[in-house]
Structure 1
């Protein structure tokens, strides 16, 4: 993980004056809201807006997703629109010839699959064409999570709110034309579930335990909720986990505590859709630990969504947002995301579409309601500052969340089989950049792991082959080395010869400890 990260770029705050009106399938208001003589609805704008056109409509739930461009529906979206997640809808307008600056009233109607409508209204002074960089140049509609449902349709209309410069004889400006509605293209996703494991660090005799108060858990949740395309984020804390092995700034000990979290997750019989995240404080402050640079987190790169046994990561657990940023990055690796090409990260995603690991399109924090410029923001999977999430990473995270939620029933047995009973016996070995094994844990899995497949020979004390099987290798994100998962061998063995690794792994000492 990078050494430090600047705070979110606070570029522009969208000042929404959105009125929200809910109506039933017959158009009758539901509940309160609004004013005037139209059954509780605000009075309709006086005349249609003239000499302006709708050039673009975009949804912001984390990243900008255009849904209408140049008067037509955008068929190939750059990122998903997420069901059950709050968001901002921006309507971009462009004055035509003869336009005189004035105020525009906009109405966004969202109709659920059940026929119930929600109406959102905003008024805005318009003097020039809308732009991404000027929040007040667009009509902005702040939508709650329940407005984004699968099957929802929408329409937008613009009218004069009584100011000068508009001609009442002009036809209404509306998308789509007439009385039609367009499909918003909302897709279902799931909940991101994280169990934070506070590691009681006793390698120096201090017994330091990181902060897992409600306030710090709230920081973790808020950070993940802003970046991940989930309907919700659940962050809970487990009881402290004792640890006596040194963890140092150069990365020593990180692999061993990561392997311990993999094993702990199995012993806890965690559900298949739950991510474990171990946090620790090896020194009294982040500054003292990282004063000459440091590794701040570690995770295996889990390429397959059904590989639930490896849903574990670790990172520094100092108070504040820095540790939360590390968590978002490391859990990204557990979601199968490689590094973005920024800041000298190793193992970068060669398919990443934006030069320098930038975010590619405008970002938007649904909680702080702040924008992030694509020219200054960098992807959270890189090593640079001013991080947010690119539309590319956002879409990939969405795919993984959907897959984890979707396969949950199919691999439900794996969750219980990871306990001490049931399933087939496996053993994990961590190894460093020189191929030297550093720790070992046991696993019981209902399904074969999905890491990179390699052949493994089990060798006896004399060096002869006493068994052969398929191994699965998971490379680390920030350190050389990784984790190899092998089936337990019937015959005793002293070392492993794994194809693709440069040396034979002498594991006899590690096996003797278990």
Structure 2
């Protein structure tokens, strides 16, 4: 387990080398005479040994690079200097537990393996400089996949603030000094990083928060009468997985009152469309994610273990309805449910699949073949390291999974934007009007709901539209967005509500010359508030 390093107010020690040899007084010249009694004799005495005074590490050891890891590794020092912002691979958040590690260069051939102390000296705190210490037996190559083959320190969330600078110094220890020749010379460069002065850790002045509402469904169909696993242990697993794999400093998970679902579920789209209505009637803020959670007595629903209603293309308040997804509760496989939670909410954050095992709808800009995460990950809750080629990005269908640098950077600005709404206390989406959202299922059936939102005018179809009728008169014809749902054969149809929608008596979806009519009474009205019972009926 990684323990937070303790602060130490000790300043830099003197650079003078100290001999660690016991000193013994000489006997009187000639020894004892026959006439001297034993009581008159002057015996041999032993003085106290001189205390060991630490000195900078000798023998040519140098530091190669320094990493800060809050989930994914970010190099903050290399080649004797700090790594500037333009050369950083990702962001470092404030108020998030951080593992700092230092790795030594290839050792000289005559290096004597021994214990070395590394001091992480951090400035920028209101109370003054902090000195954190880490000891390691330096032998062989340093290795990022083994904590013991590096120097490491843990910074607690309150210690991770903007404006911090650091330097790392290597010092001999009393235990190690006893193993070498005291005349061993220092290397050509100081055993420090940076070689002189200090450099920025690079903590962002950030506010990164996620809010998720979990909606458990009590399912009742035929012989399947279930409630999902909402035990304290499982909900903690959900929390830990989401928190560790997202660039956030705070995660708020709210458990919704259970929804009684009567009748057969054949597709996650049914749950997700219900939650379009539910989140609106709950008065949920636009930054809130909704996640449905159900046990259907099967390992899949509609051929999937989870599904998001859509994938937002940005961070817009009018896309609040797209921040909805669902997943299965599988008895005996709680880890799968927790990983599905992260994966599906990942879609709601704007992420597409990453290619690994035949996934559809992949992000072809992902830089690493096979979905490998590419860098060593670190769990800030469980203190585990995650292998860069064994673990795959959590948006693959492969296993095991972790966060990649690519994914971290994808969701960071989205979380940043949504977090700004939380700071503003935004009560609802912008007044962009309302939309009619239809879902066309593989069997040809359709379901429709209204909700606050806006269409993407640049993504309207030239061949699909929706006609609105008031009595026998055509009120409007609006071009539709056609948006296939991720992980599903269901297709979303999105159109802007026309003025006078309250007078609409029926609609007709027109596609490829075919018209499918839906009566107004079968459209769920969700863009206006009303009291909603905790059941799908």
Q: 1:154 aligns with which of 151, 157, 166?
A: 166
What SS does the corresponding residue of 2:428 show, helix, strand or coil? helix
Aligned match of 2:201: 184
* Alpha-carbon distance in 1 for matches of 2:483, 2:288: 19
Q: Which runs of 5+ in 1 are unaligned?
A: 1-14, 28-42, 284-288
Q: 2:516 aligns with which of 491, 494, 506?
A: 506
Report whether the alignment pairs 1:234 with 2:245. Answer: no
* Alpha-carbon distance in 2 for matches of 1:330, 1:394: 15
Conserved? CA contact 1:339–1:345, under 8 Å: yes
Change over 3 Å in CA distance of 1:484–1:410 after alignment to 2: farther
Report whether the alignment pairs 1:372 with 2:397. Answer: no
Change over 3 Å in CA distance of 1:22–1:46 after alignment to 2: closer
Report whether the alignment pairs 1:20 with 2:1. Answer: no
* Alpha-carbon distance in 2 for matches of 1:298, 1:345: 13
What SS does the corresponding residue of 1:21 show, helix, strand or coil? coil
* Alpha-carbon distance in 2 for matches of 1:304, 1:503: 33
Q: 2:484 aligns with which of 465, 475, 478?
A: 475
Report whether the alignment pairs 1:279 with 2:279. Answer: no
Q: 2:136 aligns with which of 112, 115, 124?
A: 124
Aligned match of 1:37: none
Report whether the alignment pairs 1:102 with 2:114. Answer: yes
The 5-angstrom pairing of residues 48-447 of structure 1 reads 48-50=56-58, 51-75=60-84, 76-94=87-105, 95-112=107-124, 114=126, 116-162=128-174, 163=176, 164-165=179-180, 167=184, 172-178=190-196, 180-187=197-204, 188-204=206-222, 207-247=225-265, 252-283=266-297, 289-290=298-299, 294-299=303-308, 300-306=310-316, 307-318=319-330, 320-408=334-422, 412-415=426-429, 424-433=433-442, 436-445=444-453
Query: Looking at both structures, which has the greater relative contact order when contacts are Cα pairs under 8 Å and sequence separation is at least 6?
Result: 1
Deviation at 1:213, TM superposition (A): 3.1
Deviation at 1:267, TM superposition (A): 0.9
* Alpha-carbon distance in 2 for matches of 1:304, 1:222: 26
Per-residue displacement from partner, 1:295-348 (whole Å, max 9, x unpaired)? 111101122211223211111123522111100000000000000011111000
TM-score for the superposition, normalised by structure 2: 0.78
Conserved? CA contact 2:70–2:92, under 8 Å: yes
Per-residue displacement from partner, 1:329-383 (whole Å, max 9, x unpaired)? 0000000000001111100001111101111111111222111111211110001
* Alpha-carbon distance in 2 for matches of 1:502, 1:173: 72
Aligned match of 1:453: 459
* Alpha-carbon distance in 1 for matches of 2:114, 2:252: 45
TM-score for the superposition, normalised by structure 1: 0.82
Larger Rg: 2
Conserved? CA contact 1:302–1:451, under 8 Å: no
Deviation at 1:409, TM superposition (A): 5.7
What SS does the corresponding residue of 2:284 show, helix, strand or coil? coil
Deviation at 1:83, TM superposition (A): 1.3
* Alpha-carbon distance in 2 for matches of 1:365, 1:44: 38
Change over 3 Å in CA distance of 1:310–1:451 after alignment to 2: farther
Moved more, 221-230 or 404-413: 404-413
Conserved? CA contact 1:130–1:137, under 8 Å: yes
> Aligned-residue CA RMSD in angstroms?
3.1
Conserved? CA contact 1:192–1:230, under 8 Å: yes
Moved more, 292-301 or 119-128: 292-301
Deviation at 1:113, TM superposition (A): 5.6
* Alpha-carbon distance in 2 for matches of 1:214, 1:452: 45
Change over 3 Å in CA distance of 1:409–1:365 after alignment to 2: closer
Change over 3 Å in CA distance of 1:17–1:478 after alignment to 2: closer
Deviation at 1:108, TM superposition (A): 0.9
Conserved? CA contact 2:285–2:427, under 8 Å: no
What SS does the corresponding residue of 1:506 show, helix, strand or coil? strand
Change over 3 Å in CA distance of 1:228–1:45 after alignment to 2: farther
